[in-house]
Each structure stands twice: as structure tokens, then as C-alpha cells.
Amino acid sequence: MSAEATNPGNPGAAGRKRGRRRLELRGLRRIGRAALLGPAPRDGLPHALEHVAKVHRGHHPDADLDTLAKAYLLAESSHRGQLRKSGEPYITHPLAVTLILAELGAETTTLTASLLHDTVEDTEVTLDQVRDLFGAEVCYLVDGVTKLEKVDYGAAAEPETFRKMLVATGNDVRVMSIKLADRLHNMRTLGVMRPEKQARIAKVTRDVLIPLAERLGVQALKAELEDLVFAILHPEEYATTRSLVMEYAARPDPLAAIAQRVRTVLDEAGIDAEVLVRPRHFVSLHRVRLARRELTGADLGRLLVLVTEDADCYAVLGELHTCFTPVISEFKDFIAAPKFNLYQSLHTAVAGPSGEIAETLIRTHQMHRVAEAGVIALGNPYAPTDGADAPEGERADPTRPGWLSRLLEWQRTTPDPDTFWTSLRDDLAQDREITVFCADAPSDGTGGPSAAGGAIGLPAGASCVDAAYERHGEAAHCCIGARVNGRLATLATVLHDGDSLQLLMAPDSAAGPSPEWLDHARTPAARLAIARWLAGPREPGARPASPGEAPAETPLTGRPTADHHRSGAGSVTPGSVLAVADLPGAAVRLAGCCTPVPPDTVTGFAVRGGTVTVHRALCPVVARMAATGRQPVGVRWRGAGQGGHGCRVTLLAEAFSRPHLLADLTEAIASQGAAVVSAAVEPPHEQRVRHTYTLHLPNASGLPSLMRAMRQVPGVFDVLRAGRARQAAAMRP
């Protein structure tokens, strides 16, 4: 990294006192000594590369070490004479980064690029030379890391910084892996920096790079980065946690006794398993201490059980829950439903003989490698296949998580860097995910288009609005409601892990979200899409209906087409209530916010697409549009006073809460020949409840008798049209 390179003639930089906070990996001291010996080969390998090669061969026995040796010789000769701010030869930095990646199981191409990752930026080596010597793949990775190093990490530049970062690295997750290893080594040696610079680098690491490590599943890097940041930004809490660890180190470890008993139980059951005690890192211990206020010896670690096959994981779980007392609330199955970052494991907790609670992780050896190294453990995702080559500029990456694709889409569609930065940080801050199962919507007049069923991942606390945009993208603007676990629900409903969801879509693409949706959207994808729609030209106050209302601006019998009947004063949708607008060539739609029917007094306003939306004169939207200076368009009922056409209307029944109220109201509606399009029931408040119905009436003249029949239902004290109900609610204290 260029910021670490220094002129050897600068005695202040070379002689600065080395006061470091670091957690050394195996072999780093050997690397530093070997680097001073120079590049002289021994048994075909440079001295400094021997430990890296040994670790790499442990993961990849057939690895081509000649390529690594050639890369090291180029890096060493290029960086010769450069020193780090700590006074060490600069080559120790790329060697340390390469060792970090080698211990995580990175393949040879990634290690080659990590050895060369600073050569193009800090030396005379060019990308063309790297391409000629090592091929296009290594050149691509070195170029990606070089672009990151040129980015300014100053606070004022952060929004544009990370937009560029995603552009530079989004097409290859290995670039991010090298960057994370580079940051880890720099954090280990951060003690040579001024305290204020340490804090600035630690904050960027905390806010962006640690969440990126979590997203990539590289838990080994994430845990150490968290501890290093913790020591810099919260030194007192770090010291307290460290002292607690030292205090408990002198006591008997209760987890060791439980682990031995688990080994005995699994051995008697004939299950070949490795049982380990896995210590928690300092940040994890600090979080446990805050949650439980007091630590026990068993809180300092967790049991890790490693087996060979997936089925063995469940066999181990069965034995543990049979021979120990399980804590059922602690059970999670991330094998059947893996996390967004490829993590798989069974989580449980059991009580030991003295009442200690031992949290236990059960996974296969392969799951463990992926849990520690994430995408790094999956090898080269771009290895040649028999399939067609990817399009120019695109790299087909089977390991690229969905969140990364979303971030790349946001940076392309969000021109404002500050908005993108906020969305990025919001997404990275979401550290817990739920799984929701989407079902196909019925193919009726209200369901509209629906995506195929399947599981979708959402952040904890996400609502139906978030699910709609995750499943449908921009088409979610037409969502009018949802069924959660089979029950009608508002779009504001917060979803929980394992919920079954059915999204209801309006058949009219002219419907759109309301500003209130932003209050219920948790995911940046949903918020950005809603904000883009609201910023475009639209009718002020227009919104889609809730599950109890028809969607705004929805035609009564489908979308207008080229064969609409035309009149000199406007057009009407075939088969709908004959409303006519005094605007030549305009299609007429009835607003879902107030659902006007003959003989209501109505007015109209032109909206995008050349459509005139008809509102009742008393609709609150009319007043808002008039306040903004929008000019009304004259509209009238064709054949005024003749209510002989089908129509849709939204009614709100105010009632005292009682059993069977919904059934009685539905029966009264059916007795009047009306069909229920959708319905919603708000939670009771002070023994009062509100039912909202969107109904289709065969004849508009039957509306008064329908409202009378609903008012006669016991417990109902008022039935109102949708627009009037909102006005009444606004006047209530």
C-alpha cells in the first residue's frame, strides 16, 4: 500500500518507535527475517516464500509454486530499497498479505496477485508487464486492487470512495479478498501512525470493510479486524475484556469438561467427530457481557463439533439433545437454510452437569472451511468451463452474493453519491437476516402478475413493502396488499423468519407507491425505488390502495387500449361507468382513494400518460392538488342519474369489537349482491375496530341500501365512504 512506503533516506520514518497492537499470524517473523536475506533461491524457492509455499501446499497439494516464485522475485526486485513506516523492508507487507490469504486456502492466482498488488502503484512495473508475465487473470486482480489504493479514504470523500470501490471490485470478489487481507496487515502495524490517523482508519474499517468481510463470509478476517478496531476505538472496554479473559484463564475451564463428555457420547454412538473448544474473540465476549451483564467461564468459548457428512450433523444434534438438556430457544438450522454469506452450521446450546450452558456449533469440515474463509475457500470461481464466454465487461461469478449484485445496481441507478453512501451503510449495518417464503398469487382479477414462489432473504425487521421490491423490483409499485401466513395484511406488516407471504398486485401498472411506504421500507433497494418513483411526474397525493382499498387510478375493467371508445369530449374504458372528461383524447379512470360512483359530485385531474383521474369533489386529494395549483378537468357521468352500471367502491365500517363481526358483515354484503374484492381489519383499539372493504356492485344505485344493511349489523355504529372516513379521522383528537 503506497501510504506505507517511505523513502529510506528519511531517518524520522525509519527510526520511529514501533509501538504496535497486533495479533501475529504464524510465520510473519520468519518472513521478515527471510526478506532481509534477499531473493536467493533455495531448492527452487526464495527463502522468504518457503513458509507461504508450505501453507499453500497444505490446502492445494498440486499448486504450481513456480508462478509464486516468479511473482515474488518480481515484487522483491521492484520494492527493493523501499521501507515501511515501521522501518521494515516493504516486501514484508505483500508477503504478509499473501500468507494471510494462503492460510485461508486461497488458490494460486489470488496469491500471485497479492504478491504483486502494490507493484503497479508503487514501482515502475506496468499492468502490461504483469499481463505478459502472469496472464490476464492476475492482471485483472492487480488492476482492481490498484484502483482501490488510489481512492481517497478521507471523510469528505467517503461517498464517492466506496462507489468507486464497488465499481473496481464488484466483478471479482477476489479483489475484495486481497483488499481485506491488505487492511488486516495494515491494522496489525497501525501503531506507527499518529493516534488521530489510527482512529480514522479504524472507523473506515469498522463501517465498511468489516461488514464487507461479513458479507463475503470471511469470519477469520472479520473477527481479527473487529478486535483490532475495538482496541483502537474503545481502549477502556478492550482492556476490561482482556482482563476478564486473563482472570478466567487461571480457572478450570467448564467447557473442557463438557467437551470431553460430548466426545464420549458421540464415540459410544459410533459417530466419528472432532470436538473442539473454540474461544470467543474479544468483541464477541464484549457483546455477550453487555447482553448478560455477567460472564461465566462457559461464556468464554463455544463447542465446535466437526463431522464428515451433512447427515452426521443431524445425528450429532440428536445425541446431544438426548444425552444433555437442550436450550430449545438457541436452536438454529443454517444447513437447511444457509445464511446470505454462504454460512452453514447447526447451532444449539446444552446444559452441562453443573448447569453451565455450552453453546455448540455442528458442521462438516467443508462447512467449517467456508465459515472461516467464505468465498476464499471456494477456489477460483472463474476457472474455464465448457460454457460460452461471458459478455465483454461481465464476469460470471457463481459465488457473488446477491447483496453485492444489489449494491452494483444501486451505484448504477443512484446518481447522488450521498444517497448511495447512505444506502450502502444501511445495507452493511444489517447483520441479521430472515427467510420469507413467497407463494404464487391466485390468478384472479385482484392478484395481478406474480413471481414464482420461493424463498427470499430479507433483513430482520423488513416489511411486506421490502419483500415486494425484493421479489418484483420496479414492478412492486403496483403492489396493493399481501397475505401473511394466509391472512390479509397491510403492506406495513413486519415479517418474521419463516413467514409465508403472498403479494397482491394491481392489474394496472399506473398505480404507484405513496410517501408513507418510505416509513415502512427497511431495505435500501425498496427505499431507492420508491424515492425514484415519487420524484417522477405523477398526480400529487396519488397512492396505491391498502389491502382494504382499490388501487389508486385503477380502471374498472382493465387498462385503456388503442381501441377505447372516443367522444368529442374524451374517452371511457369499455364497460366501465360512463364517466366523460372535457379533455380530448384522454382516458378516464376512477380514483381508488375515494372510489366515486354515480351520482357523486366529481371532478378530474390530468395525470401522466394523458389519463384523467376522477375524484369525488370532497376527496382530500382534490384539496391537495388545488393547493399546488393543479387545474381541474371537467368530468361528468354519462347518462347522469342512471346508476345502471357496475362499479367498485371502498367502505369503512366502524364497530364495537365482538366475535363473528366479520362473518356478519360479509353476510350482509353478500345479501345485497355485492362482491368482496378485498378486505382488511385493523387491530381493535379501545374496544373499537374498523373494517375496510373494497366491493364490486353490479349497480351503483344499490350503494345506499348496501350501506344501510351494513349499519344494521349489531355492533356497527357507522359505515362511511373511504374519502369521508379519512376526513373524519383527521378531525378526531
Q: Helix 173-188 to helix 158-169 angle, to the nearest 10 degrees?
A: 130
* DSSP category for residue 698: S
532-to-143, 166, 468, 529, 573 alpha-carbon distances in Å:
34, 22, 16, 5, 29
Give ∠ CA 302-306-310 in degrees, rounded to 5: 120
Question: What's the one-letter identity of residue 280?
Answer: R
Residue 276, CA atoms < 13 Å, CB-side half-sphere: 12
121: three-class secondary structure by DSSP: helix
364-to-29, 309, 313, 404 alpha-carbon distances in Å:
33, 6, 7, 27
Phi-psi region of 508 (alpha: psi -120 to 50; beta: other; left: phi over 0): beta
Pairing type for strands 433-438 and 500-505 reads parallel
The span from the CA of 525 to the CA of 468, in Å, is 11
Per-residue cell: 7: 523513502
CA 111, 112, 113, 117 dihedral sign is: positive
The answer to whether the beta carbons of residues 178 and 94 sit under 8 Å apart is no
Phi-psi region of 19 (alpha: psi -120 to 50; beta: other; left: phi over 0): beta
Question: What's the one-letter identity of residue 4?
Answer: E
- Asked about 359 being catalytic, the answer comes back as no
The span from the CA of 224 to the CA of 211, in Å, is 13
The span from the CA of 218 to the CA of 326, in Å, is 29
* DSSP category for residue 43: T
The answer to whether the beta carbons of residues 91 and 35 sit under 8 Å apart is yes
Q: Is the peptide bond before 537 cis (omega within 30 degrees of 0)?
A: no
Partners of 274 in beta bridges = 306
The answer to whether the beta carbons of residues 511 and 554 sit under 8 Å apart is yes
Per-residue cell: 147: 484502483
The span from the CA of 207 to the CA of 203, in Å, is 6
What are the φ and ψ backbone dihedral angles of 211, each rounded to 5 degrees?
-60, -35
Closest CA relative to residue 636, chosen from 575, 580, 556, 571: 580
H or E element that contains 42: strand 41-42
* DSSP category for residue 458: E
Of the residues 88, 103, 122, 539, only one is catalytic, namely 122
DSSP E strands in 368-518: the ranges are 433-438, 454-459, 479-484, 487-489, 500-505
The span from the CA of 306 to the CA of 355, in Å, is 24
The span from the CA of 416 to the CA of 432, in Å, is 27
The span from the CA of 378 to the CA of 609, in Å, is 50
- Asked about 519 being catalytic, the answer comes back as no
488: three-class secondary structure by DSSP: strand
Per-residue cell: 539: 398526480
Closest CA relative to residue 675, chosen from 445, 479, 442: 445
The answer to whether the beta carbons of residues 598 and 640 sit under 8 Å apart is yes
Phi-psi region of 558 (alpha: psi -120 to 50; beta: other; left: phi over 0): left
The answer to whether the beta carbons of residues 99 and 115 sit under 8 Å apart is no
* Catalytic center residues: 121-122
